[in-house]
Amino acid sequence: MSETLLRELERLGVARGILVDMARREQILEVRCEMPHCYHHKGRKAFDPRSQHPPSNWELTADHYPRVKMHGGRLTLDNVRLAHRLCNRVDYGWRIKIGPLLTNGMSLALIADRLEKQSVPRPHGSPRWTPALVRKVFVS
């Protein structure tokens, strides 16, 4: 199985790095976006090769997870998940908006109201920001 994954990563322009190391160790089951909210219109398994300039929103990236880079997370075998570039960027945007508000003691309801007023994009299929959605987006 790892040879198939290595060939798929190579086809996508990933020839070295943590994702290749994980594939060799059989720590990747399939090449698919592992973000809680994937936005690719063709699904979680559709990726563009990395060779495009400027970079495509749909190329494969290694996401720092569960400990994000801004909180000291590193790309190590226990702190990585696969993601589309855009899905990773959207998730990061939510974290940098919501995290400081939680740290300052703001309630989930007040955060949801603020995100609504600022017209912060929601996960597709969500009609509005709610306290439950704020928690789900930040924790996942």
What's the average model confidence in pLDDT over 16-37? 93
Cα–Cα distance between 15 and 6 in angstroms, integer?
A: 8
DSSP 92-105: HHHHHHHHHHHHTT
pLDDT digits (tens, 9 = 90+) for 70-84: 889 999 999 999 999
Q: Which two tokens stand for residue 29?
A: 């089951």
CA dist., res. 137 & res. 46, Å (int):
23
* pLDDT tens figures, 75-129: 999 999 999 999 999 988 888 899 999 999 999 999 999 999 999 888 888 899 9
**pTM over cut 0.95:** no
**Residue 84 exposure: Cα atoms within 13 Å on the Cβ side:** 21
